[in-house]
Amino acid sequence: MIHNEKFEKMPRRELEQLQTERLQSTLNRVYRNVEFYRKKFDECKIDIEKITAIDDIKNLPFTTKEDLRNSYPYGMFAVPLRDIVRIHSSSGRTGKPIAIGYTRNDLKNWSEIVARLLVAAGITEHDFLQIAFDYSMFTGAFGIHYGAESLGASVIPSSSTRKIGDQIMIMRDYKTSALLSTPSYAIDIANNLKEMNIHPEELNLRLGIFGAEAWSEKIRATIEEKLHISAFNHYGINELVGPGTSGECSEKNGLHINEDHFIVEVIDPHSLEPVSPGGEGELVFTTITREGFPLIRYRTGDLSSLIDGPCDCGRTFVRMNRVAARTDDLIVIKGVNVFPAQIEEVLLRSEGVAPHFQIIIENEDGIDTMEILIEVSDSLFNDEIKRLMEMKSRMSKMLLTDIGITARITLVEQETFRKTSGGKPYVVIDRR
């Protein structure tokens, strides 16, 4: 099922021509209206009239998250504030927040591209969507909300701030057919269903669309097994638009990028040169329909690769593989390189472990140490101390065997990190 065949099945040659025209329009808009880009282009001696093909984009300078922070709050807006009808922002946990502006046309386009990806995953106007992303300054819940309503689907805006038990009550009583949340939140729900003695078949849930975190095929399999649903991957980041950048179709063979709205590149994060076709690197996006907050060659920090060639679903948009990690997530400890997502995969193999944890790295007398605080089901604290110690020992051994790190394990109650981590499944605190 395809929402908008005109664009989603557009021949590649026509698509590239459309991208080129929209890129040229965007470059003229930002040069006229955004001081940052005007100065940057002039410094780099960029003549935007000479950008006449998609391949020419490599001659343009990159935009970084630091550039956006330095422009706070409205320095990157390309229209007068009177034309901005919505403002979202990043959390600002690691620096100044980033204010993101939307015009009415931006919101219309946002609803359209989200609707495409919902349909690609199998959502119809007959579905009841429980949106368990946080309704706040983040973009996640709102983008999906309006995309779903534009399809005529029924929206249940349950948010992620509710207790898990309340989410399950809503899911059961309102006959939710689709869950939209982070994958870690879905596992939380699945674990609590088991504790509440509610079998997944007692629910109407048939599919889930999950994003906002890096997650693996193992986690997909866990969600599908525990909730008895089909799980789909969805990708989007605040700075670009929010949800709607890319998502999986029924084939589950890569995430289709809405290329009539975005131009994507993959670069080596060190050399900043393009990687070879199909190679993994940092995703770089250029928005070509955004009016309020257009971005040129924005470095996302997300590591992935592209899949060329047609998809059996009929869509012609290029696909991206799931995001494996982030360039800024890498932990180096005692000579071992490890990403938090790798640690998550190991921990989730233990029964009763929630997908929320905190990594604390310190240097004690010249030696690096790692402690991992892990949320576990409340019922585990009723077990004997001996069993809890065995569980901690088992997880320590798995971490050492599978990824070569030594860590001290500390078990904490559920929802310990939910408020302090901004909803993220893990936080790394490096005190070295």
Q: How many domains does the chain have?
A: 2
Name the one residue in this structure whose structure tokens are 């005529």: 152
Q: Which domain holds residue 355?
A: 331-430
pTM of the model: 0.84
Confidence class for position 92, pLDDT limits 50, 70, 90: low
Distance CA 187, CA 219 (A): 9
Question: Is the per-residue pLDDT at 265 higher than 90?
Answer: yes
Confidence class for position 278, pLDDT limits 50, 70, 90: very high
Write the CATH number for 406: 3.30.300.30
Confidence class for position 330, pLDDT limits 50, 70, 90: confident
Annotate 79-124 with three-state secondary structure: CCHHHCCEEEECCCCCCCCCEEEECHHHHHHHHHHHHHHHHHCCCC
Write the CATH number for 209: 3.40.50.12780
Name the one residue in this structure whose structure tokens are 């359209």: 112
Q: Both 365 and 286 in a single domain? A: no
Question: Is the per-residue pLDDT at 421 higher than 70?
Answer: no
Per-residue confidence (pLDDT) for residue 240, from 0 to 100 = 96
Residue 389 in contact with residue 424, Cβ under 8 Å?
no
Distance CA 331, CA 421 (A): 18
Q: Which of 3, 50, 78, 56 is nearest to 289 (CA)?
A: 78
Question: Is the per-residue pLDDT at 419 higher than 70?
Answer: no
Question: Is the per-residue pLDDT at 403 higher than 80?
Answer: yes
Question: Is the per-residue pLDDT at 329 higher than 90?
Answer: no
DSSP assignment letter at 63: B
- pLDDT, tens only, 33-81: 999 999 999 999 999 999 999 999 999 999 999 999 999 999 999 999 9
Q: Both 225 and 347 in a single domain? A: no
Q: Both 271 and 128 in a single domain? A: yes
Residue 59 in contact with residue 51, Cβ under 8 Å?
yes
- pLDDT, tens only, 293-324: 999 999 999 999 999 888 999 999 999 999 97
Question: Is the per-residue pLDDT at 397 higher than 60?
Answer: yes
Tally helices (H) and strands (E) across the chain.
11, 21
Question: Is the per-residue pLDDT at 82 higher than 80?
Answer: yes
Per-residue confidence (pLDDT) for residue 95, from 0 to 100 = 59
Q: Both 339 and 321 in a single domain? A: no
Confidence class for position 244, pLDDT limits 50, 70, 90: very high
Question: Is the per-residue pLDDT at 94 higher than 70?
Answer: no
- pLDDT, tens only, 171-226: 999 999 999 998 888 988 998 998 899 999 999 999 999 998 878 898 899 999 99
What is the DSSP track for 344-378?
A: HHHHTTSTTEEEEEEEEEEEETTEEEEEEEEEE-G
Per-residue confidence (pLDDT) for residue 17, from 0 to 100 = 98
Q: Both 144 and 239 in a single domain? A: yes
Could you give the percent of the chain with pLDDT greater than 70? 97
Question: Is the per-residue pLDDT at 418 higher than 90?
Answer: no
Q: Both 257 and 348 in a single domain? A: no
Q: Both 262 and 389 in a single domain? A: no
Q: Can you list the alpha helix ranges (DSSP code H) found in 12-103?
A: 12-33, 35-43, 65-70
Distance CA 181, CA 248 (A): 15
Q: Both 352 and 284 in a single domain? A: no
Confidence class for position 368, pLDDT limits 50, 70, 90: confident
Q: At which of 262, 292, 327 does a domain end?
A: 327
Q: What residue type is 254 in one-letter code?
A: G
Q: Both 369 and 419 in a single domain? A: yes
Confidence class for position 287, pLDDT limits 50, 70, 90: very high
